[in-house]
Amino acid sequence: MFTGIITNIGEIVEFEQRGDLRARIKTNFVTANINIGASIACDGVCLTAIALGDDWFDVEISAETVSKSNFRREGTNRPGPIWRVGKKVNLERSLKVGDELGGHLVSGHVDGVAEIQSITDEGDSTRVVLEAPTDLMKFIASKGSVALNGTSLTVNEVHDKSFGVNFIPHTKSVTTWGDIEVGDAINLEIDTLARYVARLNDCNKYSS
């Protein structure tokens, strides 16, 4: 589990297909404190550290994960590989018992990919509107929570096929959100509570 509070910006220094995709991510984390097999959220995707160096860790990415996330995303305004050498990614270590829960509970299991539709500066902050897959929009509510590229965010408004969020300067400075463009494909994880509420409503509907 994670909180959606980004603690480091990593950089992909190697990215290749070896059966599954494999990436090497440079980080400022103290890798001596990371165990092989540890879970690390990389742009919101829970991945397992399979090798470690002084300032890097390696992860493998299965075909199922690729299908749900933005590693290789076609059909957006900016098609082609999203993950590539030189790309910066939001990183978060897994939650420990007793840690402060500053965001919301995030599993690192991405539900789908949203696409940035507009970016508007509002004072010092930035309003971003994203289009989400139709089957996920029912889980997104105004003033509810979502995780976007691993970042815990509050939803400002919801439309038929899109929703808006706001970024304060601090968030843009400590994450990759300060370097986004219209058309970017973004990993989306809906709130776990919203998922179970929707499931309960479905069960009540079928039993009535």
159 band by pLDDT with thresholds 50, 70 and 90: very high
Q: Map out the domains of the chain as residue ranges.
A: 8-93, 112-207
The helix (run of H) or strand (run of E) holding residue 169 is helix 169-174
Tell me the per-residue pLDDT of 21-44, one tens digit each, with 9 for 90 and over. 899 999 999 999 999 999 999 999
Q: What is the pTM of this model?
A: 0.89
Between 182 and 103, name the one with better pLDDT: 182
Q: Do domains 8-93 and 112-207 have the same CATH topology?
A: yes
CB 155 within 8 A of CB 141: yes
In CATH, the architecture of 112-207 is: Beta Barrel (2.40)
For domain 8-93, say whether CATH 2.60.210.10 is its number: no
* 164 φ/ψ sector (left φ>0, alpha ψ -120 to 50, else beta): beta
What value does the mean pLDDT of the chain take?
89
Tell me the per-residue pLDDT of 170-191, one tens digit each, with 9 for 90 and over. 999 999 999 999 999 999 999 8
